[in-house]
Amino acid sequence: MLFSNLYDLLVGIPAILIALTFHEYAHGQVANYLGDPTPGQQGRLTLNPLAHLDLLGTLMLVLFRFGWAKPVQINPMYFRNGYRVGTMMVGAAGPLANLLLAFIAAVALSLVGHGHLLLFRFLYYLVIYNLVLAVFNLIPLPPLDGSRILAGVLPSRSLAAYYGIERYGPIILLALVFFGVIGYILNPLVNALWRLLTLAVGMA
Q: Is 24 a catalytic residue?
A: yes
Q: Which residues contact 115 (CB under 8 A, 6 or more apart)?
A: none
Cα–Cα distance, 28 to 70 (Å, whole number): 12
* Residue of 11, 24, 88, 91 marked catalytic: 24
Q: What is the dihedral of CA 47, 49, 52, 57, to 10 degrees?
A: 140
Angle at the Cα of 185 from the Cα atoms of 181 and 188, rounded to 5 degrees: 135
Q: Quick one: which of 32, 42, 48 has its CA closest to 71?
A: 42
Three-class DSSP category at 80: coil
Active-site positions read 24
